[in-house]
């Protein structure tokens, strides 16, 4: 039977972990979840303490330490995992109820990888439109905020996330999945935070995201993308 390792890369996500970990505990089935791995990249806000405290009464929750960088952290989690299915989830994203059953059902129906539809916790019309577009199974509509499930053997066959990418590591890997395997968008809503849009401004951040994706499309190096991100996005 397929079982899931949930992998959550974090860096200073204490506030979100206080919400996410209890939610996962209340909305997962013990026979389907192998473990919940919270991979910390060097938090200074007490994230590790929250994971340690929660794990005392929830032994499937395990805190891991990794070099900083979401690709490195997710790869480390995958390497440490026991499940046959990997589920990568951001700390500020809440998957739908029964998400574990939906994932296992999709895998049993021969989907090798996939994600959920996504909506932002915002009433801004552009973010509503952006979320609406995630229901379509086009690789241009994909991103890490939607979460990602993938068979572990498929993940390993593609070499995992490219650790040269500090940003866009999710897009780079998902594009490889689309090229080689059947990718499924499950028709259930995941809710993610709009905090970066709130901090940077919706149109300012969207403009910079478009620039980054255009740069990547035209062959910009991971270092070039990282430098642009660090210069313009907070």
Domain ranges of the chain: 4-193, 196-234
Separation in Å, CA 168 to CA 32, 63, 82, 226: 30, 25, 26, 9
Per-residue pLDDT of the chain (234 residues; tens, 9 = 90+): 679 999 999 999 999 999 999 999 999 999 999 999 999 999 999 999 999 999 999 999 999 999 999 999 999 999 999 999 999 999 999 999 999 999 999 999 999 999 999 999 999 999 999 999 999 998 888 887 899 999 999 999 999 999 999 989 999 999 999 999 999 999 999 999 999 999 999 999 999 999 999 999 999 999 999 999 999 998
Non-local CB neighbours of 202 within 8 Å, separated by 6+ positions: 124, 126, 127
* Predicted model pTM: 0.96
C-alpha 69, offset from chain centre: 13
Any idea what DSSP says for residue 92?
Answer: T
What CATH number is given for 4-193 in this structure? 3.90.550.10
Beta pairing class for 4-10 and 33-40: parallel
Let me know: does 152 contact 87? Beta carbons within 8 Å. no
Query: In angstroms, what CA-CA distances link 58 with 64, 71, 84, 148, 154?
Result: 15, 26, 21, 23, 29
Give the integer Cα–Cα distance in Å for 102 and 92.
20
């Amino acid at each position: 039977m397929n079982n899931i390792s949930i992998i959550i890369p974090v860096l200073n996500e204490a506030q979100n972990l206080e919400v996410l970990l209890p939610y996962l505990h209340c909305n997962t089935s013990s026979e389907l979840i192998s473990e919940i791995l919270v991979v910390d990249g060097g938090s200074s806000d007490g994230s590790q303490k929250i994971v340690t405290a929660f794990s005392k009464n929830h032994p499937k929750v395990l805190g891991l330490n990794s070099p900083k960088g979401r690709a490195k952290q997710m790869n480390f989690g995958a390497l440490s995992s026991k499940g046959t299915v990997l589920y990568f989830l951001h700390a500020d994203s809440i998957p739908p109820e029964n998400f574990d059953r939906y994932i296992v059902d999709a895998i049993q129906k021969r989907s090798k990888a996939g994600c959920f539809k996504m909506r932002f916790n915002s009433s801004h019309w552009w973010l509503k439109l952006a979320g609406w577009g995630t229901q379509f199974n086009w690789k241009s509509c994909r991103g890490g905020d939607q979460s990602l499930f993938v068979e572990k053997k498929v993940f390993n066959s593609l070499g995992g996330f490219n650790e040269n990418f500090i940003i866009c590591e999710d897009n780079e890997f998902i594009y490889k999945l689309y090229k080689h395997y059947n990718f499924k968008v499950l028709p259930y809503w995941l809710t993610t935070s709009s905090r970066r849009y709130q901090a940077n401004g919706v149109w300012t951040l969207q403009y910079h995201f478009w620039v980054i994706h255009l740069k990547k499309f035209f062959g910009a190096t991971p270092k070039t993308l990282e430098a642009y991100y660090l210069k313009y996005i907070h």
